[in-house]
Amino acid sequence: TPAFTELVPALLAKAGRNAQITLMRDGQTMTVEATPTEGGKLGFQLKPITEIYPTVRQHFSLFQSFPKGWENGTGTMANYVSSMKYVFTSEGAQSIGGFGAIGSLFPEKWDWYGFWQITAFLSVALAFMNIIPIPGLDGGHVMFLLYEIISRRKPNEKVMEYAQYAGMLFLLLLLVYANGNDIFRAFK
């Protein structure tokens, strides 16, 4: 039988065009016509994995927790960084959100684990954004320091000043765009 992982590439191949989709509902096979979005989505998703498989809690001793924490942290960081490439697609740009989107990440019902997981995600996302070589952020300062190390001379003060202005303008426009997306989604 076909797997869900085979459906995703097939939907991406038909993105934006009508597609005949054969499915089984209540034991009967039927064919429906649908138009996948640009990202190959149909408007449904898989059940959360916690509804499919039972949750098992593991306990670690103090000394076992350090390597496990390192493993989980580096794995999560690698996933976050690898998913940043999707921000530079048209669907990714539309999904950028501001303060409202950040607030909606948190669950409606209080959950310590979910709270700290989302807080960690936001911290890692901000850290990653901070090292991008945009003047005005730490990555921009590192870029100028690398230039100074390689060229063995200090960058022109006016160039640095205008780069800072451009970087800050870019960050302000990004802030307006992200929060504008939130407002647009609220009225859509």
Q: How many Cα neighbours within 13 Å face the side chain of 12?
A: 8
Q: Which helix (H) or strand (E) holds 45?
A: none
Domain residues for the domain of 22 are: 1-56
Whether the predicted pLDDT of 93 surpasses 80: no
- Distance separating alpha carbons of residues 167 and 30, to the nearest angstrom: 54
* Rg from Cα positions in the chain: 23
pLDDT averaged over the chain? 85
* Cα distances (angstroms) measured from residue 51 to each of 48, 54, 95, 104: 6, 7, 26, 21
48 lies in some domain: yes
The Cα 134–Cα 143 span in angstroms is: 8
Tally of structural domains, the chain? 1
Q: Per the domain annotation, does 19 fall within a domain?
A: yes
pTM over 0.75: no
Q: What is the pLDDT of residue 71?
A: 93
Q: Is residue 164 part of a domain?
A: no
Question: What residue type is assigned to position 94 of the chain?
Answer: Q
Phi, psi angle pair for 22, to nearest 5°: -95, 130
Residue 38 lies in a domain: yes
Whether 96 is in a domain gets the answer no
| Residue 51 is assigned to a structural domain of this protein | yes
Return the percentage of the chain with pLDDT > 70, whole number. Answer: 97
Residue 2: its pLDDT value, please?
A: 65
> Which position has the higher pLDDT, 132 or 40?
132
Is 73 inside any structural domain?
no
| pLDDT tens figures, 142-187 | 999 999 999 999 999 999 999 999 999 999 999 999 999 889 888 8
Residue 34 phi, psi dihedral angles, 5° rounding: -145, 160
